[in-house]
Amino acid sequence: MAQRRLSACVDLFALQSAFLVLTAALVAFLTGNHHIYIAAALTGVIKVVIIPRVLKKVIERLNVKRELVMNVNVPAGLLICGALVMLAFFITQPIIPLGFLLTRDSLAIALAIVLIGFFTMIARQKAVTQLVGFLVMENGLFLGATAATYGMPLIVELGVFFDVLIAALIAGIYTNRLQDAFDNVDTNHLTTLKE
Amino acid sequence: MTMIAILVLLIAPLLAGGLSLIVHRSALLHAINLTSMSLLVGAEVMITRTVLKDGPFTALGQLVYLDALSVFILFIIGAVGLACSFYMRSYMDDQVARGVIAPTRLNLFFFLFHMFLLAMVIATVANSVGVQWVAIEATTLATTFLIAFWRRRESLEAGWKYLILCSVGISLALFGVVLTYYSSLHVLGDVSEALNVTQLLPVADQLNPHVLKLAFIFILVGYGTKVGLVPMHSWLPEAYTEAPAPVAAMLAGVLEIVAVYAILRMKMIVDHAVSPAFTGGLLALLGFASFVTAAFFILIQHNYKRLFAYSSIEHMGIAMIGFGVGGPLGAFGGLFHLLNHAFAKSMAFFAAGNIHRRFHTVEIGQVQGLALAQPWTAMALMIAGLALSALPPFASFASEVQIVTALAAQGVPGQWLSNSGGMVTVAFSNQFTSLSLTGLFLLCSVLAFSGLLYRITSMVWGTPPEGIVRGEAWTLGHLPIIVLAAALVGFGFFLPQPIRQLLEEATRIILVH
């Protein structure tokens, strides 16, 4: 949240995804559910390798290194993130004891990650950081799906990965096109269509 | 036989999409499109007959589930899709001829169109809530490019906004699906069928109500973004204005309805576990928020495409109020309203497309004398406008009356009411709120009606500006306009037996306890 350098944001996202792969692999190992291994491997390939690479390329092409203007300043942003984490624990409090799985507590963490991703999308102005916020949301969802429920049915998981990949590619192409049309991918400039 | 029909339903758009990528002649592209759409409609008719005769069934190893509700949605997809295909025949050719679209990009357009259609069909027939989510997300990805197809500054902007807002919305819906799975896991075990509607419905009353409540809120907000409910609607006016006319017709006529369908499916499950008062209260709340907001925004629009976009938000709000109030009348009215809105709104966007091609502006103030310049389009615009304002004898009048009657009779179900005070206060406040809400409903309908008709009549009458060609040649694109207009008037007087039966069965499915 506090990071201004765009490439560092992407690196952090890759790191988070790598931890996600470890979690998923751990769940797969502990429960013996083989289809989670597949999901973990896919996460590794798509979110640790492909998507960060696409994003880096976009950043390079756009030639934007730092995000100078943020809608919310860093200390306030961090405070809000802390509040969001507490909110996530508060919301999931009544339903966590229902789970009989050993990783059930991570449902709260998953919701927290989703909310933080959401907040990042609101607080940042660059198209690339908004995209990273979206991907962080997806990571939170994936954590919720694997850790709290031992993975969704495989067919759904595959579909989700496919969608995330396509979404990232589309957004990548899009930022390129936006660049051509606006010179600078600052979503604040996207204000022609106001009420 | 039905098996083949289901396969046709899934394979026709896929094959057509694939073929569109390799074919380059525009006549052939249209032929493929029309053939595939006709096959789709034919398959739907067969499935409808089976469902009406034998009731709901699953196919393809539990992957596909079809009942009267999903068949009804398929019917709307097919009808509007076919109308769009006919309209595109003249619209796209004209765009290519005027050099707006490079001929080489035409096959990309058709490819995306077919993928969009395929995703919507999958979302409708899927048994698993998870697969349905994947398909709805796929519609977002396909339509992003369709919305930005003109590659102008504004259309890129609209496309980006649509992509970001709908992706976020749909991620929240995924969290809802995860929570649903979390709750069904305890009852059904960790099996891949634990997200299937056919498995969830029978055991729904054993699922944990707290988890499902949370799941429903996430899913309602998520898919509600796609429907364009206030306050998640801000992408919608831009996307509808910038999208090519047939795409806008598909977005308004079909995509919104598929998202409503996904919400209804979830509502049925949650209703068993919690109570219809919980889901109904939320739906009615969002419905009223959309209806009231849109009614005021309709008054201040000076861009006719945005006018229709806000009218979409308004009508989806009305349908949501119908489902939220519930009861046989409310649910029937809601479904019927979806159908009427799909027909009227696609017609309105066809007319808007024609106007834009002649006048080259979206400003209402610069369009005058449509009745002289484009008599057919003017007629279509008037009929669509009257139907969208829900005047008799149009079918939308009937459905709106059904909804408002249900609202006045039953009031809005709400759990928050029963928490405050004793029984007497509840009864009183219930009656009071239902009366005031009915009043609000009628007031907003009048606002929307006057706003819409005032703008439309100002476009139809008068003399055309200098330099605008008068007269309109008959093209294939006028055929769907005539058919849709006939259906809109006709359904108000008399609902054909199969459609009536379909609607009644679907209402029973939504209400079953």
Express each pLDDT in A80-95 by its tens digit.
Answer: 888 888 888 888 777 7
State which residue of chain A sits closest to B297, comparing Cα positions: A195
Which residue has tokens 């209260």? B281
**DSSP 3-state of B128:** strand
User: Which of A:63-92 have CB within 8 Å of B?
Assistant: 91
In whole angstroms, what is the distance from residue A9 CA to residue A5 CA? Answer: 6
For residue A75, the model assigns a pLDDT of: 83
Optimal mutation site among B175, B218, B233, interface A, most CBs of chain A within 10 A: B175
Shortest distance between the Cα of A151 and any Cα of chain B, in A, equals: 9
Contact A188, A73 (CB under 8 A): no
Q: Which tens digits make up the pLDDT trace of A96-152?
A: 666 555 556 777 888 888 888 888 888 877 777 888 888 888 888 888 877 766 666
Within 8 A of A99 by CB-CB distance, chain B residues are 182
pLDDT digits over B146-155, tens only? 998 887 878 8
- Say if A172 is an interface residue toward chain B (CB within 8 Å): no
Q: How far apart are CA A100 and CA A102, in angstroms?
A: 7
Q: Indicate if the pLDDT at residue B496 is higher than 90.
A: no
Give A-chain residues touching B208 at CB under 8 angstroms.
95, 98
Per CB-CB distance under 8 Å, the chain A contacts of B210 are 94-95, 98
Please state the φ and ψ torsions of residue A5, each to the nearest 5 degrees.
-75, 130
Residue B59 belongs to what H/E stretch?
strand B57-59
Question: What CA–CA distance (Å, rounded) separates A130 from B358?
Answer: 39
Q: Which residues contact B494 (CB under 8 A, 6 or more apart)?
A: none
Average pLDDT, chain B: 86
pLDDT at B488: 87
Residues of chain A with Cβ-Cβ distance to B140 below 8 Å are 167
Q: Higher confidence at residue B1 or residue B395?
A: B395
Place of tokens 């369009």: B367
Question: Are B341 and B281 spatial neighbours (Cβ–Cβ below 8 Å)?
Answer: no
B2, pLDDT greater than 90:
no
- B217 half-sphere exposure, CB direction, 13 A CA radius: 7
The alpha carbon of A47 is separated from its chain's Cα centroid by a whole number of angstroms, namely 9
Give me the pLDDT at residue A41, please: 84
Chain B residues lying within 8 Å of A149, measured CB to CB: 178, 181-182, 185, 190
Q: Is A169 on the interface with B (CB under 8 A)?
A: no
Which of B112, B115, B147, B178 would you mutate first to test chain A, the one with the most A CBs within 10 A? Answer: B178
Among A1-5, B387-391, B454-458, which is the least confidently predicted range?
A1-5
Are A153 and B195 an interchain contact pair (Cβ–Cβ within 8 Å)?
yes
Mean pLDDT of B156-163: 86
Report residue A18 CA to chain centroid gap.
Answer: 12
CA of B123 vs chain A CAs: smallest distance (Å): 13
Query: What span, in angstroms and rounded, lies between the C-alpha atoms of B72 and B83?
Result: 17
Whether A170 has its CB under 8 Å from any CB of chain B: the answer is yes
In this complex, which of A127, A130, A148 lies closest to B182 when CB atoms are compared?
A148
Enumerate the residues of chain A whose CB falls inside 8 A of the CB of residue B186.
Answer: 98, 100
**Omega prior to B231 cis, within 30 of 0:** yes
pLDDT by residue (tens digit) across B221-262?
999 999 989 888 889 998 999 899 999 999 998 999 999 999
Nearest to B87 by CA among B290, B301, B377: B377
Tokens of B77: 């997809």
Q: Pick the closest to residue B326 from B226, B415, B447, B409 (CA basis).
A: B409
Rg (CA), chain B: 22
DSSP, collapsed to helix, strand or coil, labels residue B353 as helix
Q: Would you call A137 and B168 a contact, using CB atoms and an 8 Å cutoff?
A: yes
> Cβ separation of A190 and B161 shorter than 8 Å?
yes
A149 close contact with B: CB closer than 8 A: yes
For residue A155, name the pLDDT band (cuts at 50, 70, 90): low
d(CA B241, CA B228): 14
**Chain B residues with CB inside 8 Å of A171's CB?**
163
Residue A73 burial class via C-beta count within 10 angstroms: exposed 0-12, middle 13-18, buried 19 and up: exposed
| A192–B contact, CB cutoff 8 A | yes
Q: Closest residue of A to B192, CA-based?
A: A153
- The pLDDT assigned to B309 comes to 93
Interface test with B, best of A156, A178, A189 (most B CBs within 10 A): A156
Distance from CA of A87 to the nearest CA of B (A): 14
Give the one of A99, A152, A166 whose C-beta lies nearest to B141's C-beta: A166
Mean of the per-residue pLDDT values of chain A: 76
Placement of tokens 């109308």 in the chain? B83
| Predicted pLDDT at B417 | 44
Q: Evaluate if residue B494 carries a pLDDT over 50.
A: yes
Cβ contact A115:B198 at 8 Å:
no
Task: Give the burial class of B474: count Cβ atoms within 10 A of its Cβ; 0-12 exposed, 13-18 middle, 19 or more buried.
Answer: exposed
Q: Which residue from B59, B47, B193, B204 is spatially nearest to B130, judged by alpha carbons?
A: B193
Q: Across the interface, do B163 and A159 touch by the CB < 8 Å criterion? A: no
Q: Which of B168, B191, B214 sits opposite A134 (nearest CB)?
A: B168
pLDDT tens digits along B372-398: 888 889 999 999 999 998 888 888 888
Q: Residue B253 in contact with residue B348, Cβ under 8 Å? A: no
Give the pLDDT confidence score for residue B420 in this predicted structure: 39
B194: which chain A residues are within 8 Å (Cβ-Cβ)? 153
Percent of residues, chain B, with pLDDT higher than 90: 34
CA distance A89 to chain B (A): 14
